[in-house]
Amino acid sequence: MLKEKNIWNLMIVLALIGIVLATYLLYNFYAVVPSTICNISSGINCNAITKGTLSTLFGIPVALVGLIGYAVILFSSLTKKKKMALGMTAFGMLFCLRLTILELFFIKVICPVCIACQIIMLIVFLLSLQLNYKWVKSSK
């Protein structure tokens, strides 16, 4: 079982990685000539997601939503706000679940960077659950 201090530190690192990945996806959304680093095939392709029908939600780039979400998680981790972290990661998990279902079952394209973001969100959600419930060892 991780101590509370270690959980916060891990959440900070994961939020920073999430910010970097979401920034890459946002760059690809706006780029005239997007990066082709993760375009492996027609079925494993970041640009199919960042330039396709899943790239926006109500006119807002999905990558921007992710970037803001990871920034809020970073802020809540730096300030040790447990409820804020839990709320943001719960929202992030629902958002990621929706995206994963759409990617896999409707568009039938896997975006490796998106999957990495979704895995990070799952981990920070589980960590924030641990922080918010009594099985955490406090280490102040």
The 10s digit of each residue's pLDDT in 23-44 is 999 999 999 887 888 888 989 9
How many whole angstroms separate alpha carbon 29 and alpha carbon 47? Answer: 8
Residue 51 in this model has a pLDDT that exceeds 80: yes
Q: Which residues of 28-57 are buried (b: 16+ CB within 10 A; e: fewer)?
A: bbeeeebeeebbeeeeebbbbbbeeebbee
Domains and CATH numbers, the chain: 13-132 (1.20.1440.130)
Residue 2 pLDDT grade (very low, low, confident, very high; cuts 50, 70, 90): confident
Query: What is the predicted pLDDT for the residue at 20?
Result: 98
